[in-house]
Amino acid sequence: MSDVNITNAGAPGNQERVAPLNQRFDFGSYAETRQFLDDLAELSRREAYYPDVSFGKTYANISIDSEGQAALRERNSTFIADMQALTAKK
């Protein structure tokens, strides 16, 4: 269904820097992709956070840079987990 690539890297003596999150969600039809994008738009409005999104007929790529992840973490946001849970809705 989806492929998650989350990497953390830090240099000694520096604050740990989180690598960008890039996640691909694959769907069986355009209707499923459209539903995911509509649900993601609602989540984004609710959380006041808008990740980078690119999509095609049966997939969506979501990117959240390290600054975005830090902002979500500071707010104790569940945006990423909520976004991932959207694919379980069917």
Average pLDDT over residues 7-19: 53
* Residues of the chain by 3-state class (helix, strand, coil), percent to 5: 40, 30, 30
pLDDT in tens, 16-74: 677 899 999 999 999 999 999 999 999 999 999 999 999 999 999 999 999 999 999 99
Task: Label residue 15 by pLDDT band (50, 70, 90).
Answer: low
pTM above 0.75, yes or no: yes
* SS3 state at 13: coil
Domains located in the chain, CATH noted: 2-88 (3.30.1360.20)
Q: Which residues pair with 60 in a beta bridge?
A: 25, 55
Q: Greater confidence, 15 or 59?
A: 59
